[in-house]
Structure 1
């Protein structure tokens, strides 16, 4: 059985004339929320062997807070996560190396929420800084598909 931790980036600054959507940083509240949610994940005891993140500033900062809190290697950046739909995120998961029993994906809505619903049939919108742990009825990442997930935990601020 594989496990997947889905994290939506923490709260980001509003779009300003000087910033593109991609470059929006976390707010102070977003940083605090991400640290709190990372601590909850640390206490859950199920840590990922790999964390993959969108390169957008807010997602990258969220991933950094999680990996630092969890004592993990830096997140792997994958540009395909930014603005990804379920099909793109599923392809990413299906291509993961099977050596990883638990993987973590840090991204954006609607993709992250839609992927959670696609896998589990549960939760249609994940708020900022929230995470969900999903157990997958798959021994290989290539076997992950619609309905193969069971939600184990869901945490939000």
Structure 2
């Protein structure tokens, strides 16, 4: 089985109107949420071997907050993941080496949410986690899927949701 972790960047700042969208950093709330998610990843022993990350400043800062990741994964910043649609995110996953058992993809909405929904498929009776994911994919949220197929064969509806974890679900979140 393979593990796919999808992490939306944490909350970003809109304070500087002169910055391009690509250059926007995390705000204070985003930095706190990213630190909480980092601790959750450690607590859950989620250890990606490969990390694909959008080249946007906020996604790179979210990934930086997770550091150091155990086992020094291969980290690949990718310009074409910036605001990418779900189809492009899926194409990027198709290029992951077959030897990788776990991948973390750090990117943006709506692409990440759409990819999650595609991978989830249409559950007849959604679990509470599935229902929450169907509704929204907030900043800083993490989705974990289990996959039985090789990366190059990953297709919609062919994975199993393991968890959907939002920063507000974590015990130390300020609310």
Q: TM-score range by the shorter chain?
A: over 0.9
Structure with greater Cα Rg:
2
Matched position secondary structure for 1:126: coil
Residue 148 of structure 1 is matched in structure 2 by 158
Q: 1:133 aligns with which of 119, 125, 144?
A: 144
Structure 1 regions of 5+ residues with no counterpart? none
- Tell me the distance in 2 between the aligned counterparts of 1:34 and 1:69: 13
- Tell me the distance in 1 between the aligned counterparts of 2:74 and 2:28: 22
- Runs of 4+ in structure 1 off by over 6 angstroms are none
Structure 2 regions of 5+ residues with no counterpart? 122-129, 168-175
**C-alpha RMSD over aligned residues:** 1.6
Deviation at 1:74, TM superposition (A): 6.6
Deviation per residue, 1:73-124 (Å, 9 max, x gap): 4731011110111110111111110110000000000011111110013423
- Tell me the distance in 2 between the aligned counterparts of 1:38 and 1:148: 27
| Number of residue pairs the alignment of both structures matches | 156
Residues 1:155 and 1:60: Cα distance change in structure 2 (over 3 Å): same
Q: For residues 23-62 of structure 1, what are the structure 2 equivalents within 5 Å? A: 23-62=23-62
Residue 171 of structure 2 is matched in structure 1 by none
Matched position secondary structure for 1:5: strand
CA contact (8 A) 1:35 1:65 kept: yes
